[in-house]
Amino acid sequence: MEAKKEVLRDEIARLKREKNALIMAHYYTRAEIQEIADFIGDSLALARKAAETDADIIVMCGVHFMGETAKILCPDKKVLVPDLAAGCSLADSCDPAEFEAFVREHPGYTVISYVNTSAAVKALTDIVVTSGNARKIVESLPADEKIIFGPDRNLGGYINTVTGRDMLLWPGACHVHDRFSLEKIQQMRSEHPGAKVLVHPECRRPLQLIADKVGSTAALLDFARNDDASEYIVVTESGILFEMRRACPEKTFLAAPAEESECQCNECDYMKLNTLGKVARALRDEQPEITVDTEIAARAIRPIERMLELSK
């Protein structure tokens, strides 16, 4: 098994050099992917990196909307995703036609969409945000601005609370973050009294309320790096533990359990579709390639660029 992985790692390194390819990975991907990535980040960092790279090929090890965002920002580059089936339940909770009808019902509203959306939803949007910059971007708008926020109701509710705004929320959610169990995390806390609780804002409000830190994956990592506790309960997708342990080997990171303890509900099954074998195949075949309809891409790039501008 390890020997097979070594062969794949060598092949990936060779193809990457030959084809001037950049391998990007989200923190939720498998350890084997994060180990070989040229760049690992949260969705904001991945978008920023895609906008500035001079590679000819981007291999986006994440989920489909991350590949789409990279393609919209770099239309002349080849953007590959190791497995086209790597979708996102949150992006899927916002159907473009239904979202368009919702936007039409509310004329005069500024439309803010989380980056976890399809290109078609971004094309209906004024400003894209990530969990890493949503607060800053909302706060940059006039206090009386009427805002629609989609699709994550938990992140939107969190931003409403910390900014005092009253944004209209689309009722979407992520199947991983929406299912963490408050009861089980409280139980874990009582067994680890010194542990701090790190929570992604896609989790429900009761979990946000018990958090020592609410933040994007990069913000949670930063907090752990600079904080003085020795133990943390991590309430987000468990792939992040790989980078947390690498960054802070002296600290203990515990993955928060989801509702049903026997299932791996704290894992994003879409992110886990990225494997070494599929990365090697993608580089070899230059497939599967992300394509975005030209007219949709022309509309979707504006709110993404606005995000990059406002979050500088």
Q: Say whether residue 154 binds ligand 13P (CB under 6 A).
A: no
Query: 216 is in the binding site of which of ligand SF4, ligand 13P, none (Cβ under 5 to 8 A by kind)?
Result: ligand 13P
Say if CB 262 and CB 19 are below 8 A apart: no
Q: Say whether residue 241 binds ligand SF4 (CB under 6 A).
A: no
End-to-end CA distance of the chain: 44
DSSP secondary structure code for residue 262 in this structure: T
Q: Which of 59, 88, 89, 65 is nearest to 278 (CA)?
A: 59
Q: Which of 269, 294, 264 is nearest to 119 (CA)?
A: 294
Distance from C-alpha of 134 to C-alpha of 137, rounded to nearest angstrom = 5
> What single-letter amino acid sits at 91?
A
CB of 189 to ligand 13P, least distance (A): 22
Q: Which stretch binds ligand SF4 (CB under 6 A): 5-13, 130-138, 172-180, 189-197?
A: 172-180
Chain positions 257 to 296 lying near ligand SF4, rule: CB under 6 A, are 268, 270-271
Residues in contact with ligand SF4, shown as a per-residue x/- string from 31 to 70 under the rule CB under 6 A: --------------------------------x-------
Chain positions 180 to 219 lying near ligand 13P, rule: CB under 6 A, are 202, 216-217
Q: Which stretch binds ligand 13P (CB under 6 A): 5-13, 71-79, 128-136, 188-196?
A: 128-136
Q: Which of 116, 130, 131, 311 binds ligand SF4 (CB under 6 A)?
A: 116
Residue 288: cis peptide before it, omega within 30 degrees of 0? yes
Residue 151: cis peptide before it, omega within 30 degrees of 0? yes
CB of 138 to ligand SF4, least distance (A): 19
Q: Three-state DSSP class for 155?
A: helix
Binding site for ligand 13P (CB under 6 A): 42-43, 116, 130-132, 174, 177, 202, 216-217
